[in-house]
């Protein structure tokens, strides 16, 4: 009976350690995703919505050639 209790306690402790490890990994993963979200938001804000037309030269100044 004592060995069964010891095995159950050992299994429980191993599961708790595995859960703590997974929680730490998930936390790091969430931080990485949050960092990527911030970078993507900065990139999206830096992109202009209106196409920039040429103001000098012979191409694109007479007719809007952007698609």
| Nearest CA among 46, 48, 53 for reference residue 67 | 53
Q: How many angstroms separate the CA atoms of 63 and 53, rounded?
A: 9
Q: What is the pLDDT of residues 11-59, one digit of tens each?
A: 999 999 999 999 999 999 999 999 999 999 999 888 867 777 667 777 6
Q: How many angstroms separate the CA atoms of 26 and 20, rounded?
A: 10
pLDDT of residue 65: 57
């Amino acid at each position: 009976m004592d060995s069964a209790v010891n095995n159950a306690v050992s299994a429980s402790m191993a599961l708790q350690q595995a859960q703590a490890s997974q929680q730490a990994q998930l936390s790091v993963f969430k931080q990485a995703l949050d960092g990527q979200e911030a970078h993507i938001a900065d990139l999206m804000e830096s992109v202009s919505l209106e196409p920039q037309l040429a103001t000098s030269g012979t191409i694109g100044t007479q007719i809007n050639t952007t698609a």
